[in-house]
Amino acid sequence: MCGPVSDEEYLRREIDEVERTAARRIDPGTGALTISIAVLALLVSLVLPWIGDHTGLQVVLGESTTFLPRLFAFLALGVGVVGSGLTLAVRRWALAWVCSLGLFAGAVTGVLSIWTQQTTTSNKTIGPGPGIGLTIAVIAVVFLLVKWLRIAASRPPQL
């Protein structure tokens, strides 16, 4: 029933396989450099104050009991740093979408983290206020969100 495969049929199968593989990959181009710079800014923000005198590392390690900044720190490190590095390494389209969605959650959580540190009740401040490190981290996460969303949405439609 299945005779020998002709050279043309073998070549067609090989071309189809290469096409399927290429469709699953992304090419960030010069965006890879800007993503790397944003990841570096995110890492540098960890040594700067986030909440009062607590640095980003102290927030990650649990020395600050505030929930939202800690959740934001985990999302920023997990998706922003590890996820971006992994996606740049393997260049898979699906991972670009995972980074986009995770960074969206991180951006919302980061903005809420800043907001909760600034919220007042009866003209008395609740928290010590957001530090420069938290602000830089939120800006870096929003920047990464925009870059990964552009890369993920740039996939040409499948015919």
Q: Of residues 8 and 88, which shows the higher confidence score?
A: 88
pLDDT given for residue 49 in this prediction: 92
- CA angle (75, 81, 84) in 5-degree steps: 105
Q: Are 55 and 133 in contact (CB under 8 A)?
A: yes
Check whether 159 has a pLDDT greater than 50: no
Check whether 17 has a pLDDT greater than 50: yes
Asked if residue 29 is part of any domain, the answer here is: yes
Burial 51-67 (b: 16+ CB within 10 A, else e): beebbbebbbeeebebe
Number of domains making up the chain = 1
Amino acid 118 reads: Q
Asked if residue 67 is part of any domain, the answer here is: yes
pLDDT (tens digit per residue) in 51-74: 888 899 999 888 876 788 999 999
Check whether 157 has a pLDDT greater than 70: no
pLDDT given for residue 23 in this prediction: 60
Check whether 143 has a pLDDT greater than 90: yes
pLDDT (tens digit per residue) in 76-131: 999 999 999 999 999 888 899 999 999 999 999 999 999 888 775 545 555 577 88
**Residues paired with 124 in a beta bridge:** 121
Highest mean pLDDT, choosing among 44-53, 125-134, 135-144:
135-144
Check whether 147 has a pLDDT greater than 60: yes
- Strand, helix or coil at 55? strand
Asked if residue 101 is part of any domain, the answer here is: yes
Asked if residue 1 is part of any domain, the answer here is: no
Asked if residue 2 is part of any domain, the answer here is: no
Asked if residue 159 is part of any domain, the answer here is: no
Asked if residue 19 is part of any domain, the answer here is: yes
Asked if residue 53 is part of any domain, the answer here is: yes
CATH number at residue 146: 1.20.140
Domain that holds residue 28: 7-153
